[in-house]
Structure 1
Amino acid sequence: MYPTQALCRPLTSRVMARRCARLPRQLQQKRSMIAIKDHLYFAKATAEGPGRSGTVKSNGDHPLQFTMSLPRAAGGKGDGPNPEQLFAMGYSSCFLGAIQLAAARANKMEIGDMAKVHTNVFLGHPEDPNIDGFGLRVELLVEGCDDDSIISAANDFCPYSRAFQHGIEVQVKKA
C-alpha cells in the first residue's frame, strides 16, 4: 500500500456536506467539543522532509528528534518510528496516569501502582468508500486493574480519550 493522491487531498466542505446529508436527522447533530480556557503546558513539534519518512523535532524540557519511517506493512522501510507508534506511546502513558489518579481518588493506590496500559493503534482504510486516505482505530488494554469504575473514571479523565469521545479544537493556519 503506497500513499496516493487521494491521501493528500483534503476533504472539502462539499464532501462533508454530502456525507452529512445522507445521515439520518438525529445523527446530524453537532458533536460536543471540549474547549480549554487556559493551558498548563505547551508542546511544539515540527515535521519536515519527505512526509512520513522525514524528520520530526519537539522542544520542551527534554527535546526529541526522530527520523520517521513508513512501516514495512505500508510499503516503507520500517527503519524508524512512525506517527502511530508515537501516538500509542503518548496515549498509553496518559491513560496510565489517569488510572493512577482515579485509583488514588478511590483510595486504591495499589491498583494504580500495579496497572499497565497497552495501546494498539491501527492504521487502515475507512469503511466508508467516500472518505479518502486512512483512519485510526485504538484499543486500550488495561493490565493489573480489574476495577471497572477506576478504568471508566480514567477514560472520562484522560485527555486522549476525551479527544476521541468529545472532539478537540483543531486550527490549521498558514505560517
Structure 2
Amino acid sequence: MGNQQIFESNGNGSAIDKVLYTGKVHITGGRDGSAKSTDGHLDVKLTSPGTPGDGTNPEQLFAAGWSACFIGAMRHNASTLQIALPDDLAVNAEVDLALGSEGFALQARLNVSLPGLSDDDARKVIEKAHQTCPYSKATRGNINVQINLIR
C-alpha cells in the first residue's frame, strides 16, 4: 500500500515557479512528543503550552520561524528602499493559541525594534516586509495579526 493523498489546496497566492528549499520534519507524539528534521539540525522535545515540561511547543516554533523570516524580509527590502538597518534590530513575536466560536485558532503580534531609524523609515521597512515575508503572506486574512513598532 502506497501513499494516498487526502487533501490538496492550491492556495490564493501566485504560482510557484521554483522551490528554493523544503524543510522536512518528522513529528511523533503530537504536542507531547518530539520533532526532528531529516538533516538533524532540529531535534526538540514538544510539550503542550502552559503545562510543565521541558519541551517547546508549536506556537513558539511558529513565532521563531515567522520572526526569523520577517527579519530576512526587512533586510531584503531595506536594501531595495536604500535604508540602512541597525545591527541590533529585533522582532519579539507572540503567538496566541486561542479559543473562539469556531474552535481553536491562532493570533499573533510581531513587535519590531529598529533602533535609530526614523518612524517613517521604520514603517516603510515593516510594511514592505509584511507584504513580502512568506509567513505574513500565509497568515494574511487567516488569523488576527498585529505588527507594532516598539521603541
TM-score interval for Structure 1 and Structure 2 normalised by the shorter chain = 0.7 to 0.9
1:28-39 superposed matches below 5 A:
32-39=12-19
CA RMSD in angstroms, aligned pairs only = 2.0
Answer whether contact 1:84 1:121 (CA < 8 A) is retained.
Answer: yes
Answer whether contact 1:71 1:78 (CA < 8 A) is retained.
Answer: no
Partner of 1:119 in structure 2? 93
Which structure: larger Rg? 1
Partner of 1:67 in structure 2? 45
Answer whether contact 2:26 2:38 (CA < 8 A) is retained.
Answer: no
Structure 1's 166 and 38: CA in aligned 2 closer, same or farther, altered over 3 A?
farther
Q: Structure 1: which amino acid aligns with 2:41?
A: P
Partner of 1:54 in structure 2? 33
1:45 to 6, 21, 25: 25
Deviation at 1:63, TM superposition (A): 2.0
Gaps of 5+ in 2: 1-10, 143-151
Tell which has more relative contact order, 1 or 2 (C-alpha 8 A, sep 6+).
1
**Greater share of strand residues, 1 or 2?**
2
Deviation at 1:113, TM superposition (A): 3.1
Q: Deviation digits for residues 31-68 of structure 1, max 9, x if unmatched? A: 8334422201111011113x2011111123x5211111
- Scaled by the length of structure 2, the TM-score of the pair is 0.75
- Scaled by the length of structure 1, the TM-score of the pair is 0.66
Matches of 2:86 and 2:129, distance apart in 1: 11
**Greater share of helix residues, 1 or 2?**
1
Q: Deviation digits for residues 87-132 of structure 1, max 9, x if unmatched? A: 10011111011111111111112x2534211111011102x2xx23
Equivalent pairs: percent with the same residue? 36
